[in-house]
Chain A
Amino acid sequence: MTSDEQVVERALSGDAEAFGEIVHRWERRIFALAYGMLGREEDARDATQETFLSAFRNLRGFRGEAKVSSWLHRIAVNQCITRQRRAKVRSETALEDETEAEGSKYSTPASKSPANTTESRERTEIVRRAVNALPADLRQVIVMKEFEELTFQEIAEALDLPLSTVKSRLYTALRQLQMRLQNMASEVA
């Protein structure tokens, strides 16, 4: 299997199919990142689309100094941040309004009873709100770690941050999430 860098080389030399291969390789992970960052499927899909479009337009700007994955993640994170700024994150209120619509999209395993399903939905919804309430710089790292399972080094490269900063941000993000989850769970109860 050819590496991402080789595929990009092919795309640069005029192979129209090559970039499609890059998209196929990374779309799910980029979507996961966008979803974790934005919290809405539609927004995540748009952000993913924009990420690959931006990457395609700036293909010549890719000099191979960083990994293709890091490059794509950086573009994706910037896309998400731009979207959040534009929409002013649509505030937590907007997210709350969409809770039921989003929740209804989740699958219902046949093995789970209706009571279990409802409880699971509530729990995941609390997590979603808690993650979305995090500051953007903390949300980036937690999503990249939990949704994409990137290593600290990969996150550091993608965000152009020192390794220690990534770790400290991740630690702070986990602490804040823990507190928010506790708080939200007690509110629901």
Chain B
Amino acid sequence: MKETWDNKIAASTEICARAEDLVAYLYGEATRGDARDFEKHMEQCASCRTEIKAFGNVREAVTEWRQAALGTIRSQAFETNVALIAEPKKAGVSRKLSAFAAIREFFTLSPMWMRAATAVVAIVFCALAAITVAYFKQQPKTVVVEKKTGYSEQELNERVAEAIKKLNDNKAVEKSTPSPQEIKIAQNQGKQNAQPARNNPQVAVNKVRRQLTPHRATEPSTELVRADDYLPFTASKDEEKLPSLSDLVSDDN
């Protein structure tokens, strides 16, 4: 399209070498001497004469358009224009400024007293912030660590009481059916010694205490119940019959 236009224009008239002088003359910007010189040139140059006339018509047409367009545009548009720039917030226009630019603009446009007041407020704020930070840094931190090593005495007693109760309940159920071990003991030591060992509360307490107390490495497992827990020491009839050491010595002698 552009080439077509250029070709058309080039073909329409020849371009004179004094095109720039023509423009200066047309717009009245040539000096008096240059203007006279160009007028002389036009007497001999048909191309320039044609163009001066044609360009004059173009200028008239453009001027007519300008007057028609700009002559009717309301002046209030310009008043709004000023308001928007001078007071963007009032006019509802938000200008995008970087934080730094905004601060710089603020300090540029503010009066001196406001700048000073802002600076003082900023310094006070910073000082307060620093003091607060320092205060919290100096406070010692008390951390409560609860260390639970085992049962307390009260807990232990409660557990023992609970366990005793449970054991007694179990014993009440098992009372009617003695274990084979009990039968054997009863056979060996007589009927009067078999039952009391099972029902002795001190034995049960000892057993529970042993279960709840942490095992020592050197002690054997408490799963093996010792006979003395169940049987209070009483000399058997066979033991009573055994001779004493003094007797044996005397016999040897």
Residues of A within 8 A of B (CB): 14, 16-17, 19-20, 23-24, 27-28, 31-32, 35-36, 41, 45, 48-49, 52-53, 56-57, 105-107, 120-121, 123-124, 126-128, 131, 135, 142, 145-147, 151-152, 164, 167-168, 170-171, 174-181
B2 interface hit (Cβ, 8 Å)? yes
Q: Which residues of A contact B26 (CB under 8 A)?
A: 174
The residue on A at minimum CB distance from B69 is A35
Min C-beta distance of B116 to chain A, whole Å: 14
* Choice from A53, A127, A135, A179 contacting B65 with Cβ under 8 Å: A127
Closest 5 A/B residue pairs (Cβ)? A127-B65, A167-B20, A107-B72, A124-B65, A171-B19
Report whether A31 and B82 are in contact in the complex, using a CB–CB cutoff of 8 Å.
Answer: no
* Choice from B20, B57, B101, B109 contacting A168 with Cβ under 8 Å: B20
A19 touching B86 in the complex, CB below 8 Å, given contacts A49-B81, A177-B58: yes
Report whether B5 and A176 are in contact in the complex, using a CB–CB cutoff of 8 Å.
Answer: yes
* Size of interface on B: residues with Cβ below 8 Å to A: 45
Q: List 7 A-B contacts (CB under 8 A).
A: A27-B81, A31-B73, A49-B81, A53-B85, A57-B101, A123-B61, A179-B5
Q: Which residues of B contact A32 (CB under 8 A)?
A: 66, 70
Please report the C-alpha to C-alpha distance between residue A23 and residue B57 in the assembled complex, in whole angstroms: 34
Q: Which residues of A contact B86 (CB under 8 A)?
A: 16-17, 19-20, 23
The residue on B at minimum CB distance from A180 is B5
* Choice from A17, A107, A167, A181 contacting B71 with Cβ under 8 Å: A107
Q: Which residues of A contact B27 (CB under 8 A)?
A: 145, 152, 170
Residues of B within 8 A of A (CB): 2, 5, 8-9, 12, 19-20, 22-24, 26-27, 29, 51, 54-55, 57-59, 61-66, 68-73, 77-78, 81-82, 84-86, 95, 97, 101, 108-111
Report whether B62 and A41 are in contact in the complex, using a CB–CB cutoff of 8 Å.
Answer: no
Report whether B78 and A31 are in contact in the complex, using a CB–CB cutoff of 8 Å.
Answer: yes
Please report the C-alpha to C-alpha distance between residue A174 and residue B48 in the assembled complex, in whole angstroms: 13
Q: Which residues of B contact A167 (CB under 8 A)?
A: 19-20, 23-24
Report whether B82 and A171 are in contact in the complex, using a CB–CB cutoff of 8 Å.
Answer: no
A175 touching B84 in the complex, CB below 8 Å, given contacts A106-B68, A107-B72, A120-B68: no
Q: Which residues of B contact A178 (CB under 8 A)?
A: 54-55, 57-58
Please report the C-alpha to C-alpha distance between residue A23 and residue B85 in the assembled complex, in whole angstroms: 9
Min C-beta distance of A119 to chain B, whole Å: 11
Please report the C-alpha to C-alpha distance between residue A25 and residue B57 in the assembled complex, in whole angstroms: 31
A20 touching B20 in the complex, CB below 8 Å, given contacts A14-B109, A107-B71: no
Min C-beta distance of A69 to chain B, whole Å: 17
A128 touching B22 in the complex, CB below 8 Å, given contacts A31-B73, A174-B58: no
Min C-beta distance of A183 to chain B, whole Å: 8
Min C-beta distance of A156 to chain B, whole Å: 12
Please report the C-alpha to C-alpha distance between residue A126 and residue B65 in the assembled complex, in whole angstroms: 9
Report whether A14 and B20 are in contact in the complex, using a CB–CB cutoff of 8 Å.
Answer: no
Please report the C-alpha to C-alpha distance between residue A175 and residue B12 in the assembled complex, in whole angstroms: 10
Please report the C-alpha to C-alpha distance between residue A19 and residue B65 in the assembled complex, in whole angstroms: 31
